[in-house]
Each structure stands twice: as C-alpha cells, then as structure tokens.
Amino acid sequence: MRYSNDMQPVITLTSGPVNAYPDVLRGLGRVVLYDYDPAFQLFYEELVAKTQKVMGLSTRPLIMQGEPVLGLEAAAASLIATEDTVLNLASGVYGKGFGYWAARYTGNELHEIEVPYNEAIDPQAVAEMLRQHPEISVVCACHHDTPSGTINPINEIGAIVAEHGAYLIVDAVSSFGGMQTSPDACKADLYVTGPNKCLGAPPGLTMVGVSDRAWTKMKANERAPRASMLSILDWENAWSHKEPFPFTPSVAELNGYDVALDLYLEEGPENVWARHDLTARATRAGIKAMGLELWAADETIASPTTTTIRTPDGLDEQAIRDEARARYGVVFSSGRGETAGKLTRIGHMGPTAQPIYAIAGLTAYAGALNALGRKVDAGAGLAAAMAVIDAAN
Amino acid sequence: MRYSNDMQPVITLTSGPVNAYPDVLRGLGRVVLYDYDPAFQLFYEELVAKTQKVMGLSTRPLIMQGEPVLGLEAAAASLIATEDTVLNLASGVYGKGFGYWAARYTGNELHEIEVPYNEAIDPQAVAEMLRQHPEISVVCACHHDTPSGTINPINEIGAIVAEHGAYLIVDAVSSFGGMQTSPDACKADLYVTGPNKCLGAPPGLTMVGVSDRAWTKMKANERAPRASMLSILDWENAWSHKEPFPFTPSVAELNGYDVALDLYLEEGPENVWARHDLTARATRAGIKAMGLELWAADETIASPTTTTIRTPDGLDEQAIRDEARARYGVVFSSGRGETAGKLTRIGHMGPTAQPIYAIAGLTAYAGALNALGRKVDAGAGLAAAMAVIDAAN
Amino acid sequence: MRYSNDMQPVITLTSGPVNAYPDVLRGLGRVVLYDYDPAFQLFYEELVAKTQKVMGLSTRPLIMQGEPVLGLEAAAASLIATEDTVLNLASGVYGKGFGYWAARYTGNELHEIEVPYNEAIDPQAVAEMLRQHPEISVVCACHHDTPSGTINPINEIGAIVAEHGAYLIVDAVSSFGGMQTSPDACKADLYVTGPNKCLGAPPGLTMVGVSDRAWTKMKANERAPRASMLSILDWENAWSHKEPFPFTPSVAELNGYDVALDLYLEEGPENVWARHDLTARATRAGIKAMGLELWAADETIASPTTTTIRTPDGLDEQAIRDEARARYGVVFSSGRGETAGKLTRIGHMGPTAQPIYAIAGLTAYAGALNALGRKVDAGAGLAAAMAVIDAAN
Amino acid sequence: MRYSNDMQPVITLTSGPVNAYPDVLRGLGRVVLYDYDPAFQLFYEELVAKTQKVMGLSTRPLIMQGEPVLGLEAAAASLIATEDTVLNLASGVYGKGFGYWAARYTGNELHEIEVPYNEAIDPQAVAEMLRQHPEISVVCACHHDTPSGTINPINEIGAIVAEHGAYLIVDAVSSFGGMQTSPDACKADLYVTGPNKCLGAPPGLTMVGVSDRAWTKMKANERAPRASMLSILDWENAWSHKEPFPFTPSVAELNGYDVALDLYLEEGPENVWARHDLTARATRAGIKAMGLELWAADETIASPTTTTIRTPDGLDEQAIRDEARARYGVVFSSGRGETAGKLTRIGHMGPTAQPIYAIAGLTAYAGALNALGRKVDAGAGLAAAMAVIDAAN
C-alpha cells in the first residue's frame, strides 16, 4: 500500500506547521466573540498577561495577527531607522533572509557575519565586528535557523550586543517553547516567535517581546509603520480591555493559542523542553548509528526541535521524502533555498516532540533510503534511538 | 439577573465578527497539515477554485493570510502607483478611511467625493468628477460602509468607472455573501472581501478578486510590496499545488473557510441572500414601528446585512448596548469614528441572518431603551417585524 | 422563506434533547482514551466525585452508560423485589409509565395515586395511602412530569415516605440541574437523572443517586440484574480507578459530561436555576398576556424547565409546531401519549434557559397561531415577557 | 522522562476503545437536534440506510443505543426462547462469556464446543455436533475473540449452521470494518458489531444485522424484551422518519458514527482492510524476529485487527504494559479473564491500523522487555516489520 498525494499522511514530522495538540484544535472552535465585547476584551487582556508569563518577560509582549513572518518584517520595519547601521548574523537561510528586510530599512550599508549554513555564529566574531564598527546600532540574529536545524548561542551574543549598546532583534520562532530561551535571557529588544512551532498551535499569530527602549526607538522612527497591518506601534495599547483594537484580531487563532499556553504551563516548560531534547537526541543517535551524517557541523549546535540529515550522496532529497510519505505516511521538511536538496529535516515540535516519534521518523527515513537502493541498517538505528530513550528513563 | 462583562453573551448581533456557523467552528479543528504536504497543496488549489466559484469570478482570486484590512491596505499599496491620480468615494467611515491609504501611495492630490454618512454615493457625481478630472486613474469605493449600514450603488459606479477607463478598488468586505454582489458585476479590478462577515467564518483571511489588467498594473508598479506580508504579487502563483507559498498560510483559518464556502454553496447563494434581506427588513419594520429612526437617510440604501438605528435624543449610545447585553445577553455593534455614539448597529450576517434574530435584536434594543427611561412600544415593534416575516412566508 | 424539513432549525426549544452547550459539544471530541488506561481510570474516579458534588449527595452516585430510560428501568428492576408492594404516583405520562416497569417486578398488586395530568400529587394523599397500606415498601415518583410540564412536591412526598420507611425511587431527569432539587433533600433511595436536559449535554448517560440502604436492598434482591446492561450492581465499584468497568463506558459521552459539570459548577447552581426560572416565568407571562392557557392547573406547579401551553380549541397541535418551525426555525416539543395533541411544550433547559429565548419561543408560537388563523396579540405577549425579564434585573 | 499515570499516553494501540479518527471526534460535536425534529428523523433514516450499505446487508439493520455488550445481551435475550437448544462456540473469553447469556435464556442444557483459547473452532466439529444434536436450534459464535486475537472461520461455520437450519448469532464486534466480513456472507441471523473498534468511532452504539426470520422468531418469543433498554423489537420501525423512537437515541454518538461510515466508504472498505492486514502482518513479523511467541497457535488464525503476544516466561504482563506506557507513551491491552497475564495485545483498529504504528508498537513492547531485563533484539524486530511493509509497497 502507498499513501497517495491526495491522502492525508499519518504523522507529520516537519519543522512546522506541525499538527496542533488535539486540545488546541478544539480550542479553535470556541465561540467567536465580537472583538469589542467586554468578555472578549477581558479575555485578550488575560491572554497578553499569560503570554508574558510564558515568555518569561519583564515587559508586556505583543500579539500580532499573522504568522511570524509578519512579526519579523514588522520588527525590521519598525525598529530599523534610516540612520541605523545594522549587523545581520547569518548562519542559515532564515538569518540570511532577515538581512534583506534589514537592508530595506537602513540607509546605511548592511554589515553581515555569515558562516557556513551548518555552523553557528561565534559570539567573539560578533564582539570583534562591533569593536570594528562602533556605529552598529542594530544587530539581527536568528536563534534557531530552521532550514539548517542549528542553534546560535543567542544569550552570549545578546550579552555582547547589550554591552555594545546596540538594539537586538531575535528570531526565535522555531526554538521558543521547545528549549530554554527567553527575550530577557538574551537581552533582546524585539524577540519574535509564534505559537505554530513548539507550542503546537496552528500558524496565524506572532508573539513579540518588546523592551522598553525598543518602544521608545520605534516611536521615534518616523518611518515605522503606522495605521498598517505591519505596524507594531498600533498595537501598543491593545492589550488593555479598555482600548480598541487597531483592526479585528484573529479571534479563532487566539482561542486556540490560549489553550496552547495553558497546555504549556500545565505540563511545565522544563518538561516540555525535556521531551523536545530527548526526541532530538534519540533521532540523532539513530541517524548516526545508521551511518548517516547529521547536517550540523557539530552536534552541540544541533537543534532540539529539528534534526537535519545530510542527503546521502547520489540520492534525490525529494525522492527520500516522497518515499517516506508514500510507504509510511510520514512527512518531513525539506531544506530551503541554499539548503534545499542538501538535507532533510525531521521536526520535533509540540505534539511531535515525543520519543516514540523519533522512532517513527527514523523508520520512515531509513525505509525511504532502502527503497531508493541505499541500504542502511535500520535496526541498528532504531536500537540506538531506543538506547537513548531508555537511558533517559 | 444581569449578564456581567465577564460572562459570554447569549447572542452576538454585530456587524462582525459574528459567531461562526457551528460547522465552520468544527472545521477550524481539522488536522493541521504541513503547508508543503501534497495533500495540503491540492486542498489549497481546490480552495482557490472554490473561492472563484463562490465569488462568481472570471479570473482566479487570491486568498490573503490576514483579515480584510490586510487586503485593503495591500490593494492600495499594490495598485496605486506614484503617478496615479485617485478618486476616493466616501459615504462613511470606512470609505473615508480608505482614502488615507490611497493618499499614502499616490504622488498626486487625492480627489474625493464625500457625502453625509447616512447617504450613498450618487453615480452621476462620480461621472461628473471623472469628466472634470480625466487624469483620474484609480477609483476607490466601499460597497457597504459598515459603520453606517448603507449600501453604495456599486454596479452603477463600476460601469461609469469602467467607461472612463480607471481602475476600480472595491471594499465589499461586509456585503459579499449577504447580498447579490460580485467583482465581475461591478467591474472591479481589485475586489476585497473576507469570510468573517456574511460567510460566517472567523476573521483571519481576505479574499481578493483581481482583474487581469490589475495584475499587469501591479507588476509594473515598482513600489508594490514584494517579499512582504503586504504583498499581493508574492501570491500570484501560490494557488498552484506545484508552487511554494510565500510564507506559511493560516492553515486552520483555511480549514474553517473551506467549510464556510461549502455551506454557502449548499444552501444556495440566493437563499442566503434572501434570509439576510428578510432579517434586515423585519428589523427595520420593527424599529420604525417603535417610533425610532433608521440611520440611513433613505431605506432603499439600508444594508441587508446591518441595520443602523439613530440614537434617540438624550440617550448615551453605549448605555443602550450595555443594557441590551446586561439584560438580554444580546450584543450589538456601536458606530465607529464619526458615527460613534450616533447610532447602534444590529448585524445580520451569516448565522445571525435569520428572522428570529430580528426579534431578538429588537427585543434587546427596546428593552434597553425602556431600562434607560425611554419608553417605546416594544410589542408594536415586534408585531411589525413578525408581519414582515409572515408576509415572506 | 420557509425552513424545510431537511433544513436544520435555528433554535431548538424542546424539553430535550436540547442542543448542548458549545463547550460540551467540543468536549465530546476529546481524545478517546482506552478505558483501562490509568489516565482514564483516574479521570473516571474524579468524574464520579464531581457528580457527587453536583448532585449534593452524601453517598457516591453511579454513572450508567445509556440515557435515563436505562437508569429508570434499571432502578425498577434492581430495587423492586417480588415481595415488594409498590405505590406509584402518576401525575403525567412519565409517572404513569414508570408504573408499568414497577408492575413488571413486583409480585403484588401495584398501588397507584393518579391525578389529572395537569395537576400535582398531593403529599397528604400519599400519606393517606401509606396509612391505608402499611405494606407498601417502595414508592415511585416523578419529580417533573415532562409531558405535562408540572412539578410534584417531591421533598414533601419524600419526607412522608421516609417516615413510613418505604424506599423511594425518584425520576428527576428533567428537573435536576434546572431547579433546586437533590437526592438527599427528597430522601430518595434511587434518584435518577441525566445530563441531557438541564445540564446541557447530549443524551447517552444516566446519573443515579443511591442510598446506602438501597445498595443493601438491591444486593439482597436475587432478581436484580447482574452481568447485564441493566445492572446497577455491576457498577458498584467501577468508580475506583483500581477496578475494572463491567463493560466499556461511553468515553465520548463522559468527556462531554465532564465539561457540562464544570460549566454548572463555574456558573454556580443558583445562577443556573435562576435563569431557568426567569425564562419560564417570562414565557408564562407572555402566554397569558396573549390570552392563551397554560396547561398546568395552577401556575405554582408549572415547571421552570418546560412551559406547557394548552392547544387552543380547534387547532391541530402538530400544525402549530410545524408552522413555528417553518416560519421561524424554532422547534418545540409536543405532548406524549395522553397529552399528545393537547399541549405544546417550550423547553427551558441548559443553553436555552436564557430569557431571550422566551421571546423567541413566544414569537414562534404566536406566529404559528396567527398563520393558522387564530389571531393573538403577539405584541402584548412579548411586552409581558419583557416586563418579567426587566423586573428581574 | 516517564509518562506518569495521570498524563495522557501518546499512542493508544489497544483492542478498543482506540482513539477515534479526528473527523469523527469533530463529528461528535455537531449540533444536537431534537430527536423528533424532522431533520433528525430524516438523518436517522439515512443513517440506517448507510449502515446497511456498510454492512453489505440485504435486510435493514438496527442501531442500538449502547456499546456492543448491549447488542450481544439483547441478541441472546431476544432470539433465544425457553424452548431453544443452544450451541455455544467458545474459542476465547468472549465466546465463552456469551454462553452465560445464552444459558440464561434457554430452558435446555447449553451445548458448547470449547477449544484452547489460542485455537479456532473447527467447522467440522460444529457439523458433527449438529449431527449429534439435531435439536440444536440456535448457534452462537464469536468471529474475532478479542482477548485471544484469534479469528474463527465464521463463513464456513455459518454455512454449516444454515444447512442445519439453526439460527446463528455472531459477535463480530472487533472484526467488522477491519477485515472482510458481513452478516450475509456468514448467514448470520443476528450479527452484532459496533463502531468503536475498526470503524474508529467511540463506544456507545451497536449495529445489529437482523435476518427476516430472526424478526419472526423474536416476535414470537414472548420473553423477548419489550419496552426495555434491552429490546431489539422496540426498534423495529424506528428507522422510519415517520416513526417515533422508543426512547431518546444517543444523538452525539450517531453524529460521530455518521462520519465514521462516510470515512469508511470514502477510503474504500478494501483499502481499510488492507491496512489493517498489513499492520498486523508487520507486527507479527517483528514479534517473531525478536524471538518472541505469538499467542495464536497458528498464524493463519491471527487476527488482522489485534496481535497477541505470549508473555515471555518469568515476566509480569502488567509490568510490560506499564513500562511501555511509562517509557514510550504507548498503551496496549492486556488479556481478559483466562488470558489475563498470559498475553499482551497490540490493537490495529481504525486510526491505528497504519503500518507505522506497527513500528511504534514493537518498539514500545521491546523497550519494555529490555527495561524488565529480558533483552530482545529490537533492531531485528523492527527491520523485519519494515521488510513486510516495504514488500507490500
């Protein structure tokens, strides 16, 4: 039997969207209240407070009404003024991509530290660049560059940037909720994340941590979007049940997101992080035991929320994913841009960050290789993954 | 007993968001597929085709990933080039508001026809303006100016604009799906609407009808947003199951929207329009029979999807809505901007476009007036509404 | 427009099933756990404890896996032994009907007090009967005889029965949750109710309050069902997370029921009862103001969860309900058995026990009469109902 | 990390209840209609017709309002008259158990063919018994004796019984929908099954195929339950939208069941059976490759919907399931009665009848054994299972 393209897969092990938690899916179907109804406005105020708690923030965060690309674009557009000098850190396709937005808003040349897309940014390189370019006023960093499955040392980078005095924009979309990270810990001025990765909710919202000085800087930026879908500033006071919304918020998404936050808090963030980490470690152990190669140059930078596997020589990466889906009903993510074709990604996010899904992912990946004539010892891989899981018990 | 602010109301009779159809609410909870999964890409292609059918369009429409303000802002940003001369038609707060976006993108002075916010635009005034200003290249019109509850003769306006040769941007957000209107019928180049009003889905998406020449014009517009949340152009080919999405679409919203389209087609658009119309007519009859005044200067321009009632002299409009909610659990919309305080809106949209809700709305409105010391003959109002309903039987 | 038979109605104002609360509907869709899974067994134990709290019981109640006819039949079959002499109290079709079950299990002649089906049982008549027949060992009473919409003075009856020493079986299916009543207050030995009336959950479960001496009596009854769907005894220990279930419980129903209990406790039983009472009072006021006749001989025995209206002379009762549904999309209950044709029932249960639905019900009923040529002053009826609602504010 | 008892498991691989299909879970939350509403009555009539189609029946089936133990008990109570002589076929705990019900209703001695609970009934033994006892008028057989995971040759048995002229009662609860079987194919007079196993709906309903002559026999049986929850006869005409229901049907269960039938028909029964079969075969291959023993004496009688594994000597069966759940979040079924402790069951039913879940099940089972000190070669087991899956591609 094969799962045809028009059949739904059995298990989605991607780097997002992943399927949402069942409770979140049902939460999406709560009654749609009028956004000006007092019950809704009170709900929204509580939701912002809950978001602050979940993000471990000392300041009030913002919920934006679109998936995190909205928040990222808005961050660049709002914080980066013409007179700013920007340093962009690129260790992957998403970090690199943010530079294009940054370049759009700065009036000066964009500085960039770029490393091979299977490596992480060296904080000392950032320190050195800032020493050489004291004019740098904004630094942009991607915590988890999803198309590479690699983690940058964001807290170390943040400390250096803070000492320098520059503003820091952090893309933590696919790390937040799946590992220990917070806006305060990395001293981010704008910290962009979303509910549609490790929190296990559908795509459609962005959460933004905003430092006090970021609010000041954005307000002073004449070109920061206002009266616009892209605006951060418009939403400054929307948290209050006494204030109107700039436009109709995505009520159903907020309803689902509320459940996702509750689940996260009830399970306990440390517990959630632990199962992401364990699932990723089991997956990596299995991959290595099958004689395959992790994409990350060094396993210490491998993401706990996504495992990236270098495409074995001579194989078509899409064919691997196609076979895994057709034979086992398991869906993986491909690379993006420069990493496309070079790697396959097995996501461990939210509801799929469970060790048993490491087994499912390894099986489907190994089965696909075998089907394509590249014989690997699947049994050895699975046994290695099981050993990791059992050791954590 | 009173419904306190933190209790959910019983019936939401607003101009949107309204509660979604139960089937739509459940549809939101469908499995979240990976956006690159072939099953999802096929679903999306079919969804665009279904949207085209529902919109009665000769060209392929666009689905944008945010509630209709996104589509409206994107329409202005994409279509209006610096060299364009724009005529904005303002018969209410939303029409007027669009002019601010239009003015942002044109390099020329904005022309505007503005009428009192309880009247409609006269097509002959448009014709005259176009005669006087042959340089006008873009006309912007709001079909149903929701904060006024009034309908503009959009097909007549469209015919005049088409003859002139200008491009036409139409805001049909709160009329489409509740009455007979289509992009082709009004010859719109960009026709912006959404699922969160008369289609009975939650807010979070925009549908945009795009004429062939609008695509050409937008592509030629160097300042049209690209690589942006605001971009229409980025999504031109996203309908195809073979093409990637510019960014992750709002999967859950699309799942709910799909159900809303099915419901609309199954019930039959004419039947849907008929119950919107009947509910509005019954409501208006009731209002008049209670000696109250409709906001619309002429009942022929009163919207079938929203009934606006002029606030009786001496009463605080918010107090009316507060009492209606506290005593009867029924929520209405207020005015907006210039109409705020001057009128109350009873919405008839999607699941609430049922004659029995005309009775509920009239009861709560009359009950609130009575509670505030303005005695009206509720019984007479309800009997008049019932007479309209019975006559339609 | 008319709502055809294959279209769903807009509002269901029946005496059950009523539509469930939206939160309950979503609760039905929780993950289905294996009944032997420890998480499920713990859930079930907590659910029984929550049921006890909701029922205000001093003993542990039972949840049975079928709608309340199961519990009623099981009560008769389990408690009534061959040697018992039974007194059945019949003030309506359901009370009368229970007598057929009672007669099936007793080996002696059934005693019965029967009053016209628009009246209530007089506790003194019960006392007198018990005096005359000291051998009566079991008394059966229906608290709210739904097909009549009348309430029996169950606490007074219970006190008399208790003094006599007989066992008391109470059918409180359609009263519990909508008014103040509890097994302990009426000294019931078996008190049968369900979640599908005033608790706003779907039909499929029964809750049974069981006194300690009822357990003893049932165990001593050799003919009490065992190893049977009809068995109460089989479930004695099923509440414990350490004990197996006699057969697979209805997991989804239990999931929905759990939400219904939470809603009831969160809103506060007194608040729930108050809105049932107010809705019923408003409905009765409206009926009377239209010159129509309540079925109940005395309004003091009219149920707060169902209003019964005597069919106006010369009209076909089904035609009334048909017109109400076709014109207004509002569904009522008919009578049953002897009351069929003679009355129409407007239910006020769970989600429909809201005053605004009194208005909807009166409108549809009056509109139907008018359509059938029996002109009533609907306006007067609605105004009277509003006066009751406003007075309660 | 360990999954504690109060945490929900990740994957439920039991012999039922299994988790329902996501679409079914959402279907449970459809609007609850009044059972006398014409829209509901039409729905019910169509649902019975759809059931007939799904069951491949030449006669109209019955839907009963309780999980299949209700149908089984009702079958015995309704069909078996005092004067009947019954042959019960027992190849496992459930078949044996049915004999207790049969003995309750027959006035004659119960005949029984009992084989070890890891074997199947030999049709020739049935033929021989019928030859010896021409007075046998009712034969009772269990198609899939779930606590053993073994299949009886029901079509062969049915042919022999039919030739003899006896009535045949078949328990097909856990086979129907997961393999090719139908009431007509095995010539069953009463064929009891349910939606809560291979159809992937929750427990709460029974479907009963009834032959014409079974109706006649039940009607002639004075002791057949009437006016009872246990009655089949009461429901004879309930299929018709013109007839009342004997009592309120379980509306929500029916709503979910309707979706389950649609899914089954859309996927195609053959496709559904194929994935049950493949999942079971992969599981068995894995078990054997790990050096473990299947419970079934002969693999040809192993069920495609449940794989039973003999408990390795010296291990506590519950400890195996506890470890599988605690380490991997995977839940299995234990044995029942005589098979309790001797075997573990991995279910392949409905949504879990997917080959990837064979891998998950084998992993958790092997991991549990390893944790308990019984080292097995999990890798070899998984590789063997993958080979079966790949071979089916």
Residue A331 forms beta bridges with which residues? A12
Contact C12 D65 (CB under 8 A): no
> B105 in a domain, yes or no?
yes
Tokens of A147: 């198309």
Q: What are chain D's partners, defined as 3 or more CB pairs within 8 angstroms?
A: A, B, C
- Bridge-based pairing of strands D138-142 and D167-171 is parallel
Average pLDDT taken over every residue of chain B: 98
Q: What is the mean pLDDT of residues C171-198?
A: 98
Cα–Cα distance, C187 to C169 (Å, whole number):
9
Q: What are chain C's partners, defined as 3 or more CB pairs within 8 angstroms?
A: A, B, D
- Per-residue pLDDT of D295-308, as tens digits, reads 999 999 999 999 99
Picking from B265, B293, B326, the residue at the C-terminal end of a domain is B265
Question: Which residues of chain A lie closer than 8 angstroms to B26, CB-CB?
Answer: 29
| pLDDT computed for residue A1 by the predictor | 87
Question: Which residues of chain C lie closer than 8 angstroms to A29, CB-CB?
Answer: 22, 26
Picking from B265, B283, B306, the residue at the C-terminal end of a domain is B265
Please give the full DSSP string across B135-197, using - where no structure is assigned: T--EEEEESEETTTTEE--HHHHHHHHHHHT-EEEEE-TTTBTTBS--TTTTT-SEEEE-TTS
In this structure, chain C runs to a length of: 393
Question: Which residues of chain C lie closer than 8 angstroms to A26, CB-CB?
Answer: 26-27, 29-30
Residue C180 has pLDDT above 90, yes or no: yes
Nearest to A252 among B65, B101, B256 (CB): B256
**Over the range C325-357, which residues count as b (16 or more CB within 10 Å of their CB) and which as e?**
bbbbbbbbbbbbeebeebbbbbbbbbbbbbbbb
Contact B25 A32 (CB under 8 A): yes
Label residue B279 by pLDDT band (50, 70, 90). Answer: very high
Residue A393 has pLDDT above 90, yes or no: no
Q: What is the nearest CA distance from C28 to chain A, expressed in angstroms?
A: 10
Contact D26 B31 (CB under 8 A): no
| pLDDT computed for residue B76 by the predictor | 98
Provide the 10 A C-beta neighbour count for residue A85: 18
Q: What is the mean pLDDT of residues A84-93?
A: 98
Chain C residues in contact with chain A using a Cβ-Cβ cutoff of 8 Å? 22-23, 26-27, 29-31
Closest CA to B151 of B286, B306, B270: B306
Residues C61 and C179 grouped into a single domain: yes
Residues C106 and C120 grouped into a single domain: yes
> A5 in a domain, yes or no?
no
Tokens of A126: 């950032």
- Per-residue pLDDT of B328-338, as tens digits, reads 999 999 999 99
Question: Which residues of chain C lie closer than 8 angstroms to A22, CB-CB?
Answer: 29-31
- Bridge-based pairing of strands C62-64 and B333-334 is unpaired
Nearest to B327 among C363, C370, C390 (CB): C390
A294 DSSP 8-state letter: B
Contact A169, A315 (CB under 8 A): no
Contact B200, B20 (CB under 8 A): yes
> A6 in a domain, yes or no?
no
Residue D291's Cβ-count burial label (10 Å; 0-12, 13-18, 19+) is exposed
Contact B359 C355 (CB under 8 A): no
Nearest to A22 among C22, C23, C31 (CB): C31
Q: Nearest chain A Cα to C32, which residue? A: A22
Q: Nearest chain A Cα to D266, which residue? A: A7
Residue A203's Cβ-count burial label (10 Å; 0-12, 13-18, 19+) is buried
Q: Nearest chain B Cα to A19, which residue? A: B32
- Per-residue pLDDT of A99-134, as tens digits, reads 999 999 999 999 999 999 999 999 999 999 999 999
- Bridge-based pairing of strands B144-145 and B150-151 is antiparallel
Cα–Cα distance, D21 to D275 (Å, whole number):
15
> B6 in a domain, yes or no?
no
- Per-residue pLDDT of D343-377, as tens digits, reads 999 999 999 999 999 999 999 999 999 999 999 99
Q: Provide the ipTM.
A: 0.98
For residue D286, give Cα distances in angstroms to A1, D300, D318. Answer: 18, 16, 21
Picking from A215, A233, A265, the residue at the C-terminal end of a domain is A265
Contact B327 C389 (CB under 8 A): yes
Q: Which of D323, D352, D363 to mutate to test the interface with A (most CBs of A within 10 A)?
A: D363
Contact B251 A37 (CB under 8 A): no
| pLDDT computed for residue B155 by the predictor | 98
Tokens of D288: 């054997």
Question: Which residues of chain C lie closer than 8 angstroms to A23, CB-CB?
Answer: 30
- Per-residue pLDDT of D141-177, as tens digits, reads 999 999 999 999 999 999 999 999 999 999 999 999 9
Residues B243 and B275 grouped into a single domain: no
Nearest to A386 among D1, D378, D380 (CB): D378
* % of chain A residues with pLDDT over 70: 100
Chain D residues in contact with chain B using a Cβ-Cβ cutoff of 8 Å? 22-23, 26-27, 29-31
Q: Which of A3, A18, A25, A28 to mutate to test the interface with B (most CBs of B within 10 A)?
A: A28
Q: What is the nearest CA distance from A237 to chain D, expressed in angstroms?
A: 37
Label residue C371 by pLDDT band (50, 70, 90). Answer: very high
In this structure, chain B runs to a length of: 393
Q: What is the CATH number of the domain that holds D225?
A: 3.40.640.10
Phi, psi angles (nearest 5°) of residue D264:
-65, -45
Cα–Cα distance, D19 to D10 (Å, whole number):
11
Question: Which residues of chain B lie closer than 8 angstroms to D23, CB-CB?
Answer: 30
Q: What is the domain range of residue A320?
A: 11-19+269-391
> A76 in a domain, yes or no?
yes
> B250 in a domain, yes or no?
yes
Label residue B111 by pLDDT band (50, 70, 90). Answer: very high
Label residue A50 by pLDDT band (50, 70, 90). Answer: very high
Q: What are chain A's partners, defined as 3 or more CB pairs within 8 angstroms?
A: B, C, D
Phi, psi angles (nearest 5°) of residue C144:
-115, 105
Residues A290 and A321 grouped into a single domain: yes
Structurally, chain C folds into a number of domains equal to 2
Residues C187 and C315 grouped into a single domain: no
Nearest to A203 among B37, B250, B333 (CB): B250
Q: What is the nearest CA distance from B16 to chain C, expressed in angstroms?
A: 19
Angle formed at CA D250 by CA D185 and CA D245, multiple of 5 degrees: 80
Dihedral sign, CA of B222, B227, B230, B232?
A: positive
Average pLDDT taken over every residue of chain A: 98
Contact B18 A32 (CB under 8 A): yes
Residues B154 and B183 grouped into a single domain: yes
| pLDDT computed for residue A182 by the predictor | 98
Contact A247 B34 (CB under 8 A): no
Residues B196 and B313 grouped into a single domain: no
Nearest to D32 among C202, C250, C252 (CB): C202
Q: Nearest chain D Cα to C203, which residue? A: D250
Question: Which residues of chain D lie closer than 8 angstroms to B22, CB-CB?
Answer: 29-31
| pLDDT computed for residue B315 by the predictor | 98
| pLDDT computed for residue C393 by the predictor | 83
Cα–Cα distance, B292 to B288 (Å, whole number):
5
Question: Which residues of chain D lie closer than 8 angstroms to B31, CB-CB?
Answer: 22
Residue C102 has pLDDT above 90, yes or no: yes
| pLDDT computed for residue B129 by the predictor | 98
Residue whose tokens read 């809603």:
C263
Nearest to C29 among A26, A30, A31 (CB): A26
Residue C167 has pLDDT above 90, yes or no: yes
Q: What is the nearest CA distance from D229 to chain B, expressed in angstroms?
A: 32
Residues D286 and D221 grouped into a single domain: no
Q: What is the CATH number of the domain that holds A307?
A: 3.90.1150.10
Residues B257 and B280 grouped into a single domain: no
Question: Which residues of chain B lie closer than 8 angstroms to D29, CB-CB?
Answer: 22, 26
Q: What is the mean pLDDT of residues C65-74?
A: 98
Residues A107 and A203 grouped into a single domain: yes
Closest CA to D231 of D51, D61, D65, D47: D65
Contact B382 C382 (CB under 8 A): yes
Residues A240 and A350 grouped into a single domain: no
Across the C:D interface, residue pairs with CB atoms under 8 Å apart total 188
Cα–Cα distance, B73 to B66 (Å, whole number):
11
Q: What is the mean pLDDT of residues D33-49?
A: 98
> A298 in a domain, yes or no?
yes
| pLDDT computed for residue C1 by the predictor | 87
Contact D252 C249 (CB under 8 A): no
Contact C229 D229 (CB under 8 A): yes
Please give the full DSSP string across D106-126, using - where no structure is assigned: -SSPPEEEE--TTS---HHHH
Question: Which residues of chain C lie closer than 8 angstroms to D101, CB-CB?
Answer: 227
> B312 in a domain, yes or no?
yes
Q: What is the nearest CA distance from C302 to chain D, expressed in angstroms?
A: 22
Residues A302 and A347 grouped into a single domain: yes
| pLDDT computed for residue B271 by the predictor | 98
**Over the range D167-177, which residues count as b (16 or more CB within 10 Å of their CB) and which as e?**
bbbbbbbbbbb
Contact C368, C321 (CB under 8 A): yes
- Per-residue pLDDT of C264-290, as tens digits, reads 999 999 999 999 999 999 999 999 999
